[in-house]
Every structure is written in C-alpha cells, then in structure tokens.
C-alpha cells in the first residue's frame, strides 16, 4: 500500500499481479493496472504521477497513472521478489531491495520504455533480504539500507559512486 503525493489517492498491490488505484475522498476505485507483473506486487513507491511497482517476479515498472498504457519504464535486475522501493527526493534515483539480498540503484535519466534499463549500481553487501530503504533528507546521494534478520546491519551508501560509507551492526 502506498499513498500518492497528493494525499488523496492510494495504490494497493495484489497477490494476483494487479495494482488498484483508489480515490480516498470518494471511496471509489479509479482503475486497475494489469499486465505488468506475472506474480504478486508487494512493493510500491510514488514519484509524482509515476507509480513504481515491484513484484515477486523480480521486475520493477514505472507506471504513469495519467495515461491509458501506463508502463513507461521497466527495470530488470533482481532474481527474486522486490521487497523494497524508495525514490530519492529529487526523483532521479530509485533504490530497490530484493529477497535476493541485492540493492540496486537506478537512474531515471537512463530509462526508456523500449529497453529494460541498466542499473547504475548493483550492491551485494547485504546477506539477507533488503527491505528497509531511507534516503537522507539533507544529502541527496546518501541512502541507508537495512538487511533482514540474518544480516542485522544498516549500511550507508553514496549512491553516486556506489561506495558503502559505513555499516552499523544492529
């Protein structure tokens, strides 16, 4: 579940691979996004009018909710379920975490609808699923990530270089 930036709309990912968009003021479903994923959609993140969805199929889609055929970009990299998505404050970089213990940094500037987008950084330092993602509010290229219970660490990344700046045992 993810609130849109306008505070009026909410997106819900479903086990049947669909995503529903709801208007909370009228309690009405606005539309259903179909065809992007093959399995459960468990991660959602908004970037203005773009709804990014991450699925059990390992795919990430950027959906422009204003248009009829909403998938405008596809990111492929994860080999297992995408379990975390978070856009940077600038809206240029997306962090994705997966059950494959991988963290990817994607740059929107290199994306297109005609070809799967290549990641900017593929980071392998976590030893469990990467579910927790948080961008620093005052330094746009600083990302904190948390691995699952087997990892027990929070890592801090420079997303411009891909360098792990620090790791804190939890």
30/23 Cα distance (integer angstroms): 6
Specify the length of the chain in residues. 170
Three-state SS string over the chain comes to CEECCCCCEEEEECCCCCEEEEECCCCEEEEEECCCCCCCEEEEEEECCEEEEEECCCEEEEEECCCCCCEEEEEECCCCCEEEEEECCCCCEEEEEECCCCEEEEEHHHCCCCCCECCCEEECCCCCCEEEEEECCCCCCEEEEEECCCCCEEEEEECCCCEEEEEEEC
Q: Could you give the count of Cα atoms lying within 13 Å of 20 in the half-sphere of its Cβ?
A: 11
Q: What is the CATH number of the domain that holds 78?
A: 2.130.10.10
- Provide the domain limits for residue 125: 2-134
146 occurs within a structural domain: no
pLDDT, tens digit, 9 for 90 and up, residues 92-103: 999 999 999 999
Counted domains in the chain: 1
pTM: 0.93
pLDDT, tens digit, 9 for 90 and up, residues 98-136: 999 999 999 987 755 555 678 999 999 999 999 999 999
Mean pLDDT of 27-44: 96
54 occurs within a structural domain: yes
28 occurs within a structural domain: yes
pLDDT, tens digit, 9 for 90 and up, residues 76-91: 999 999 999 999 999 9
């Amino acid at each position: 579940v993810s609130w849109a930036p306008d505070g009026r709309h909410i997106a819900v990912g479903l086990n049947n691979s669909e995503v529903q968009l709801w208007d909370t003021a009228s309690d009405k479903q606005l539309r259903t996004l179909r065809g992007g994923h093959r399995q459960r959609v468990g991660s959602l993140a908004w970037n203005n009018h773009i709804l990014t969805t991450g699925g059990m199929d390992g795919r990430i889609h950027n959906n422009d909710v204003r248009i009829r055929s909403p998938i405008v970009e596809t990111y492929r990299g994860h080999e297992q379920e995408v379990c975390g998505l978070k856009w940077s404050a600038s809206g240029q970089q997306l962090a994705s975490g997966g059950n494959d213990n991988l963290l990817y940094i994607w740059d929107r500037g290199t994306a297109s609808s005609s070809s799967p987008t290549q990641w900017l950084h593929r980071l392998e330092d976590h030893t469990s699923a990467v579910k927790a993602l948080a961008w620093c509010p005052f330094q746009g290229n600083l990302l904190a990530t948390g691995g699952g219970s087997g990892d027990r660490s929070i890592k801090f990344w420079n997303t411009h270089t891909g360098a792990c700046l620090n790791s804190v045992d939890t």
